[in-house]
């Protein structure tokens, strides 16, 4: 997730204070990993330094002054470019799952047990995501679907790899 570009996108929607940006980020993009306030303000500071946002007004608050940030044309152009460029297709050909299986076989460790443990972890996470999908909003459901589809693909890979462990063991020990 690109925090600076996401904050710029939120600012393109409407000028906002740092607190409001954090709230909106956490509500839509921070599921399970809220954005720390320090990161919000340090990111806004860098965006201001780089001419992508400006402070439109400052109001006194109970703590530090409340600054309202506004996206500049430079920032809006960057958001437009980011939104129109495709994301690199995932997954990459070298994954942690793959590396663990190959190393387990190279080191004569129980790769099948690792795959079983990983399968259990995936199934547990799938149950969690299914509950989020069932009980949550449309945004929650779409995010849960994204995770579920990736986990389903991993499970297919785990099954296929488990069936090929003997052949893979011979291949990696050459």
Domains identified in the chain, total number: 2
Determine the pLDDT at residue 91.
Answer: 62
pTM, full prediction: 0.71
77 and 100, same domain (yes or no): no
Mean pLDDT along residues 128-154: 94
pLDDT at 65: 67
The answer to whether residue 80 scores a pLDDT higher than 70 is yes
**32-36, 72-76, 160-164: which range is least confident on average?**
32-36
pLDDT for the residue numbered 145: 96
Instruction: Note whether 74 and 100 are same-domain residues.
Output: no
Among 57-71, 84-98, 134-148, the range scoring the smallest mean pLDDT is: 84-98
Written as six digits, the tokens of 84 are 């129109």
What is the structure's pLDDT at 93? Answer: 61
List of residues 6+ apart from 148 with CB closer than 8 A:
126, 129, 130, 133
Phi-psi region of 91 (alpha: psi -120 to 50; beta: other; left: phi over 0): beta
CATH of the domain at 56: 1.10.10.10
Q: How confident is the model at residue 164 (pLDDT cuts 50, 70, 90)?
A: very high
Mapped onto helix, strand or coil, the DSSP state of residue 90 is coil
Structural domain ending residue among the three candidates 54, 84, 114: 84
Using 50, 70 and 90 to split pLDDT, how confident is the model at 94? low
Which pLDDT does position 58 carry in this prediction? 74
Within 10 A of 10 (CB to CB), how many other CB atoms are there? 21
122-151 mean pLDDT: 94
Q: Is 170 helix (H, G, I), strand (E, B) or coil?
A: helix
Do 61 and 10 share a structural domain? yes
Q: Which long-range contacts (CB under 8 A, 24 or more apart) does 127-133 make?
A: none
pLDDT computed for residue 1 by the predictor: 65
**Residue 62 and residue 10 share a domain:** yes
- Residue 91, in any domain of the structure: no
Q: At what angle do helices 111-135 and 138-163 cross, to 10 degrees?
A: 160
Asked whether residue 51 is assigned to any structural domain, the reply reads yes
What pLDDT shows up at residue 63?
A: 63
Residue 90 counted as domain residue: no
* Angstrom distances, CA of residue 49 to CA of 69, 70, 74: 13, 13, 12
Based on the domain organization, do 116 and 158 belong to the same domain?
Answer: yes
pLDDT (tens digit per residue) in 17-70: 999 999 999 988 887 788 999 999 999 999 999 999 999 887 776 666 688 999
Q: How far apart are CA 88 and CA 85, in angstroms?
A: 9
Q: Which of 168, 171, 133 is nearest to 31 (CA)?
A: 133
99-109 pLDDT tens trace: 889 989 988 98
């Amino acid at each position: 997730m690109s925090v600076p570009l996401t904050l710029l996108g939120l600012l393109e929607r409407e000028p906002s204070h740092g607190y409001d940006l954090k709230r909106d980020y956490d509500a839509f993009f921070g599921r399970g990993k809220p954005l720390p306030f320090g990161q919000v303000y340090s990111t806004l500071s860098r965006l201001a330094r780089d001419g992508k946002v400006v402070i439109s007004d400052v109001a006194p608050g109970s703590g530090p002054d409340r600054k309202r940030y506004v996206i500049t044309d430079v920032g809006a152009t960057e958001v437009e470019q980011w939104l129109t460029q495709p994301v690199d297709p995932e997954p990459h050909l070298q994954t942690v799952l793959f590396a663990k299986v190959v190393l387990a076989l190279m080191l004569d460790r129980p790769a099948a047990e690792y795959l079983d443990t990983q399968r259990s972890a995936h199934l547990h996470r799938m149950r969690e995501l299914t509950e989020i999908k069932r009980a949550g909003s449309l945004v929650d459901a779409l995010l849960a679907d994204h995770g579920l589809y990736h986990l389903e693909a991993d499970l297919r890979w785990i099954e296929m790899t488990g069936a090929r462990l003997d052949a893979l063991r011979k291949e990696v020990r050459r």
